[in-house]
Amino acid sequence: MAKWFNWGNKNKAKDKNKDEKVHEEQNLSAQEFEEAEEELSEEDLKALEEEALQAAPEEVIEQAEEIPTEEPPVETEQVKPKKPGFFEKLKDGLKKTRDSITLRIDQVLVSFGKVDEELFEELEEILITSDMGMDTSLKIIAELREKVKKEKITDARGVRQAIKEIIASRLVDEDTGLKLNSKPSVIVVIGVNGVGKTTSIGKIAHHLKSQGKRVTVAAADTFRAAAIDQLEIWAKRAGVEIVKHSEGADPSAVIYDAVQHCKSKGADVLICDTAGRLHTKKNLMEELKKVFRVINRELPDADIETLLVLDATTGQNAVSQAKTFSEVSELSGIVLTKLDGTAKGGIVVSIKSELNVPVKFIGVGEQMDDLQPFNPSEFVEALFGSD
Ligand SMILES: Nc1nc2c(ncn2[C@@H]2O[C@H](COP(=O)(O)OP(=O)(O)OP(=O)(O)O)[C@@H](O)[C@H]2O)c(=O)[nH]1
Ligand SMILES: [Mg+2]
Distance CA 288, CA 252 (A): 8
- Highest mean pLDDT (candidates 59-73, 76-90, 275-289): 275-289
Q: Mean per-residue pLDDT for 172-181?
A: 86
Using the predicted structure, report yes or no on whether residue 28 has a pLDDT greater than 60: no
Residue 143 CA neighbour count, 13 Å, CB half: 16
Q: Report the b/e string of 148-175 with b at 16+ CB within 10 A.
A: beeeebeebebbbbbbbebbbebbebee
Question: How distant is the alpha carbon of residue 111 from its chain centre?
Answer: 37
pTM of the model: 0.80
Torsion sign, CA atoms 281, 282, 283, 289 = positive
Residue 70 · residue 11 · CB < 8 Å: yes
Beta carbon of 221 within 6 Å of any ligand 1 atom: yes
Sign of CA pseudo-dihedral 69, 72, 73, 76: negative
Q: Per residue in 331-376, pLDDT tens?
A: 999 999 999 988 888 888 888 778 889 999 999 999 999 999 999 9
Percent of the chain predicted with pLDDT > 70: 77
pLDDT over 90 percentage in the chain: 54
Tell me if 191 CB under 6 Å of ligand 1. yes
- Pick from 13-22, 165-174, 221-230, 375-384 the range whose average pLDDT is largest: 221-230
**Which pLDDT score is estimated for 163?**
94
Q: Burial-class residue 51 by CB neighbours within 10 Å (0-12, 13-18, 19+).
A: exposed
Q: Give residue 243's identity as a one-letter amino acid code.
A: V
pLDDT(247) > 80: yes
Which tens digit of pLDDT belongs to each residue from 278-290? 778 888 999 999 9
Which of 199, 232, 336, 371 most suits a substitution to test ligand 1, by most atoms within 8 Å of the C-beta?
199
Residue 60 has pLDDT above 70, yes or no: no
Least confidently predicted of 52-56, 198-202, 272-276: 52-56
Ligand 1, atom 26, lies closest to the CA of 19
194 Cα: distance to centroid of ligand 1 (angstroms): 5
> Ligand 1, closest atom to CA 364?
31
Residues facing 190 on adjacent strands: 308
Task: Give the DSSP per-residue string, 277-294.
Answer: --SSHHHHHHHHHHHHHH
Q: How far is the CA of 229 from the centre of ligand 1 (A)?
A: 14
Residue 129's pLDDT is 86
Residue 37 has pLDDT above 90, yes or no: no
For the ranges 9-23, 89-103, 254-268, 322-336, the lowest mean pLDDT is seen at 9-23
Please give the average per-residue pLDDT across 1-6, as a whole number. Answer: 28
Contact of 344 with 338, CB cutoff 8 Å: no
pLDDT over 60 (residue 3)? no
Q: What separation in Å is there between the alpha carbon of 359 and the centre of ligand 1?
A: 17
Whether residue 148 has pLDDT greater than 80: yes
Cβ atoms of 202 and 228 within 8 Å: the answer is no
Q: Which atom of ligand 1 is nearest to the CA of 20?
A: 27
Query: What's the 101 CA to ligand 1 centre distance in angstroms?
Result: 25
Does residue 39 have a pLDDT over 70?
no
Q: Do residues 285 and 40 make contact, with C-beta atoms less than 8 angstroms apart?
A: no
Checking if the pLDDT of 46 tops 50, the result is yes
pLDDT at 55: 46
pLDDT of residue 21: 45
Task: Give, in order, the Cα–Cα distances in Å from 18 to each of 14, 183, 222, 226.
Answer: 6, 35, 18, 9
Within 10 angstroms of residue 38's Cβ, the number of other Cβ atoms is 11
Q: Which residue has the CA at smallest separation from atom 30 of ligand 1?
A: 338
* Cβ(313) – ligand 1 distance below 6 Å: no
Ligand 1 atom closest to Cα of residue 230? 16
Q: Is the CB of 197 under 6 A from ligand 1?
A: yes
Length of the chain in residues, anyone?
387
Round the average pLDDT of the chain to a whole number and report it.
81
Cβ–ligand 1 contact at 16 (below 6 Å): yes
* Pick from 218, 227, 230, 232: nearest CA to 291: 218
- Strand-pairing partners, residue 92, are none
Range in 38-52, 88-102, 291-305, 364-378 with the lowest mean pLDDT? 38-52
pLDDT of residue 72: 41
The answer to whether the CB of 270 falls within 8 A of the CB of 208 is: no
